[in-house]
Structure 1
Amino acid sequence: MSTPPPDLTAGPPVTPSRHFSKAGAPLTPEQIRKLETERLKAKALRQQKDQDASIASAPLPRGTKRTFDSVATSAISPSKPEHAKNVRNAKDVRPIDSIQPAKKFQKFVEYDLSKMADTKGGFISVSDDPQSLLAAAEAAGKPSNMTLEDWDKQQLKKKLQKEKRGVFEPAITQSGKKCFECESLELDWNFLEVFGSRVCGKCKEKFPDKYSLLTKTECREDYLLTDPELRDEELLPHMDKPNPHKANWATMNLYLRYQVEEFAWKKWGSPEALDAEYERRTEEQKRRKETKFQKRLLDLKKRTRVETWKRNGKFESSKVFGMRDGSRGDDHMKIFDVTAVWYAREK
C-alpha cells in the first residue's frame, strides 16, 4: 500500500508522519489535513502570546501612556515585581448593582431618610449628655436603678392610664352607657369622666357646635361669665391641658360648649337677652373710649393753644412818642403804645 501524497493547500510542505487510528488503521488524508491545521493554529497562538509578553515586559518610553489592557495584564504578570502583583483591581471590587452613581445635572437630591440620623440641629441632646440639667428635669423622680428608656415607658404608661387611652381604654360592658346621639357603645371615656357627657368620637366631630371645647377667655368674653362661675366645677366642669403657646404659662381650662350655653341661657334668660346685654356692654365700652379720647384731645388743644400764645407774645408792640412831661422834669417823655397804656421813659 502506497502513502498518499500530502495536501499542499494546507500550508508549507512537511514530511507527513505515519498516523494510525485507534484500531491500527492508517488515517485518511482528510484527517491528516485537520490535524496539521490545528497544530499550526496552536503554534501561531503560542507565538502571539510570547510576543505580547515581551512587549508588556519591555520598558515604555518616558511620557508614553499605557493602555488599559496592558495595565490589566501586567497586574497578573509573573514578570512584574511583588508589589505590582498585590495591586488591587477595581473591576473585582465593583459595588453592587443597586448602588448607582449620582446623575449629573439633577435639580434635586434624593435622601434615604431611613438611614439618616437626627443630630438635633447640632445642639447637645439628652442622649448625648445624660448628666445635663435637661436630662435631670426630664428624669425628676426617676429611681436610680432604672434606665432612662424604662422611665420613659413608665411615664407613657401612666399618661395612657390617666387619659384612658390605648390598652387602658375601658372595654364595652353591659352597663347600658351609650352615645346620646347615635347610641353607640364606643364612648369617649375622657368626656364621660370629666364632663359626664355620653358621646362617641364620631359624634364629637359630627356636631362641633355642641361638643367642641371653649377656652376660659371665650366663655368670659362671648357668654359674659365671671371668673367665680368658671372656677366652680359643680356649675361648669372643665378639662385641664398644658398651654399650647408656652409650656411655662398657666394651664388651659377647657369647657364643653353645650354646658356653657345652657348655663348662660339660664343666667341671662334667653339668647336674645344675652345678645342685648352684649350689645349694651359693647356700646358702653365704645362710649367710655370716645369720652377718654375727647378728654385727651381737649387737653392737647389746651396745651397747643398755650404754646401758640407764648410764641406770639414775644412780638414788639408799636409805640407812639408824645410830648415831654414837664411835670416830672425834662428827663422824661410820654410813650404810648397801641393798647392805650402809657408809661414814662428817660430820654
Structure 2
Amino acid sequence: MNAEQKARIEANRQRALARLKSRGIIRDDQAKQIESRNTPASKRAAPDSIASQDVTENRAKAMKLYAPHPDTRRDASAETSLRDELDKDTGSKRPLDKIRPTVRKQDYIEYDLATMRNSNGGFINFDEDEGGGSENRKNQSLEEWQRAQQERRALYEDAQPPEHPSLAPKCVECHINTELDPLLHDVFKLQVCKACAKSLPEKYSLLTKTECKEDYFLTDPELNDNALFNRFEKPNPHSGTFARMQLFVRCQIEAFAYQKWGGETGLDGEWQRREEAKAQRREKKYKEKMREMRVKTRAQEYTTKLLNRKHGKEHVHAFSAAVDGGVNEDGIRMVKRRCFECGLETQEISI
C-alpha cells in the first residue's frame, strides 16, 4: 500500500467520524478514543508511562481530597515495603499462607493418589520420612540400604535381632514358630504366632470396650487405665467423627475379671445377680404400668357413672322382626322394623 492509498483511507475515516458525530451516534470522547486506536504505534505513548501518569494523577487527587484530614491518610506503598522487609527478616510465611487440615488423613485414607509418584516400575507411595527421602535412596548403595532396613526393623520390634535362630523367641503355645504376630507382640506384649492366635480365639481374640463392659462387667476407669491393660486404637468404623475404637485382648481382660470377681464361679455369680436384678426391674416396671392402667380404668368408670347419672344410661335399641313395608318411589321393595322400648321405626331396603 502506497502513501496515496493510505492518505485516501485516512480521509475516508475522518469523514465517517465527522458524519457519525454530526448525527449524534457517537460522542466526542468516543471519537477521540477511535482516533487514538487508529494512530500509528510510533506516535502512541508507552502503556507503562500512561499507567504511571494515571497513578500519579490519582494520588495527587487523593492527597488534595484528604488534605483537611491528615490522620486518615496512609501510604500503601510504604506499608507494602515494610511488610516485605519483615517477611525477609523473619524468613517465614504468614500464618494464612498455608492452612493445615485438622483431620489426620492417614486414619481414613489408605492410599492417597495425590501423593503417589511414577517410579517407572509401578506406582509406589513413597514415604519421605523413611530412608531420608527418594533422592537419598537413589544415591544409597546396597549395603547402606540393608543397614537402614535392619535399623528400621530393630526400631520397630524394639529388640535387636538374635545372634542365632535358636535364640529367637518362640510362640508360647506351639513352642515351634518364631514368626510372632506383630500386633499381639508389639501392642499387647504376647509371644504368639499368627496360626495359634487364629486357632485359639477364646484367648487371643480382640474385644471392644463395650464387650468388655457387658461380658466381664468392667468399668470405664478400669478400662481407661493404661497401667492395667494394653490397647490398640483405630478409627471408628461407624463414623470418622466418633471417638476412636479401642480393642483389648481377651486373655488379659479375662484374667483381670477373674481376679476382680473371684474366678469363673464369681463371674458367673455376678452375671446371675445382674440378670435377677434386671428381671426384678422389669417386674417392677410392669407392676407400675399395671397400677397406672388400673387407676386410669377406675377413672374412666367413674366418669361413665357420672355421665349416666347426669344424662341417663345410653339407650340400646331392640328392634322387632322385619315386616313388609311396601314399595318405594323407585320401585324397590322395603321392610320396616320397630324398637320395642322407644318405638323408633326404620325402613330398610330388601335385597
TM-score, structure 1 length as denominator? 0.44
Greater C-alpha radius of gyration: 1
Q: TM-score normalised to the size of structure 2? A: 0.43
More helix per residue: 1 or 2?
2
